[in-house]
Amino acid sequence: MVTVLLLAGGKSQRMGADKAHMRGGIARLRQLAVQCNAKRVITLCGGKEREHMFEGEVWTDPVSCNVLSEVLEWALSSIEGAVQLICCDAFNLEKDGLDLLLASKGCVPVDECGLRQPLLANCPADWSAAENDGSVSSLFAHLPSLDLGPLARQMKNFNSPND
């Protein structure tokens, strides 16, 4: 079984609204994870001031972490077993796409443009993050890319209102 780690700590500055609550937000993604038989669902909420915004198990970022790659490294080292990341702007993610990610046993999916999406990485139980150079992608450098064909559109992330 897998732990799903929902990423909801960003400021969404380019989007103009909190992505964690758009298009069903974290609540929809939590429900999706449960439908896909996640044994545990944890929301990384960012600062303590955001903790009340989410249901279930919610973790705040440690004060020792300054960037997302450090938060992810900390969280992944704090969870036993396989971990599936899901970013809060995975607006297109549906059950069939998440089922394929979970079945992959370790991957970074690519979106419809062929870009790796490390914030949707599937990290198997026996996996360790690569050396952190300060970028999120560096942590997942040793995980293979996964092209989901027609479902690759579900792997898109959204960074501006025009996306």
Residues 6+ apart with CB under 8 A from 152: 109, 110, 111, 112
What residue type is 136 in one-letter code?
V
Residue 144 corresponds to which tokens in the numbers above?
């293979």
- In angstroms and rounded to an integer, the radius of gyration of the C-alpha atoms of the chain is 14
Parallel/antiparallel/unpaired status of strands 57-59 and 40-44: parallel
User: Can you tell me which residue has the tokens 């799903």?
Assistant: 4
Nearest residue to 19 (alpha-carbon basis) of 76, 86, 90, 69: 90
Domains (ranges, CATH) in the chain? 2-155 (3.90.550.10)
| pLDDT value of residue 107 | 97
Dihedral of the alpha carbons of 123, 67, 114, 19, in degrees to the nearest 10? 100
Per-block mean pLDDT, blocks of 10 residues, the chain (163 long): 88 56 78 95 92 93 93 95 94 95 95 95 94 93 96 80 44
The CB density around residue 68, as the number of other CB atoms within 10 Å, is 19
Contact predicate 132/72, CB 8 Å: no
Q: Quick one: pLDDT at residue 1?
A: 78
Q: Give the pLDDT of residue 24.
A: 60
Residue 97, token pair as written in the block = 């796409």
* pLDDT at 161 (0 to 100): 43
Predicted pLDDT at 21: 56
Which segments of 53-154 does DSSP mark as H helices, in order? 68-78, 95-103, 136-139
pLDDT at 72: 96
pLDDT at 163: 40
* Residue 62 DSSP one-character state: P
Q: What is the DSSP letter of 41?
A: E
Give me the pLDDT at residue 25, please.
Answer: 82
